[in-house]
Amino acid sequence: MKIDGRCHCGYITYEADIDPDKILICHCTDCQALSGSPFRAVAYTREDAFKLLSGELRTYVKVSENGNKRPQTFCPECGTPIYATAVGEGPKVYSLRVGSIRQRDQIVPHVQVWSRSAQPWITHIGSMRKFEKQPPIDQTGKVSLT
């Protein structure tokens, strides 16, 4: 599937080919911290199937629980995560951050990993009250539910 994406501010733009059957949700604590969210959704592409169209990515190398180093790329202007990959030589696989993909409404995850780290309330998210847009929130963080 051909996709294109961008960071929040538009400085970074890219296009890639992904396999829509290889989309996953990661619940590891590194993804939680790096995304600022309880999980991260990723789509895989090969290095040769990814083309950076504009901007210059910044890289942060994280060290995982098992000692592996994983370069994390992001926009240096707005901080939007773009992809992670492996260090070293050889062909690379990029795990694109689904939130930066324009066609994210067409991308459906098929598996969840690191479920031992999943936030326990995730299983109840479908039964929570929903609002179409942002409800009023006061200065203390209280949401107006009326």
Q: By the 8 A CB rule, do 69 and 61 touch?
A: yes
| Structure token pair of residue 50 | 């990814």
Q: pTM of the full predicted structure?
A: 0.84
> Using alpha carbons only, what angle is made at residue 15 by residues 40 and 81, rounded to the nearest 5 degrees?
30
Please count the residues of the chain: 146
According to the model, what pLDDT value does residue 145 have? 67
Region class of 76: left (phi > 0), else alpha (psi between -120 and 50), else beta: alpha
Where is pLDDT greater, at 106 or 126? 106
Domain boundaries, the chain: 2-119
- The tens digit of pLDDT for each residue in 27-55 reads 988 888 888 899 999 999 999 999 999 99
Res 146: pLDDT: 62
Q: What is the pLDDT of residue 88?
A: 85
> For residue range 91-119, what is the model confidence (pLDDT) as tens digits?
899 999 999 999 999 999 999 999 999 89
**Is the domain 2-119 a CATH 1.10.1520.10 member?**
no
Torsion of CA 43, 80, 137, 39, to 10 degrees: 30
CB 135 within 8 A of CB 129: no
- Complete DSSP assignment for 14-54: EEEE--TT-EEEE--HHHHHHHTSS-EEEEEEEGGGEEEEE
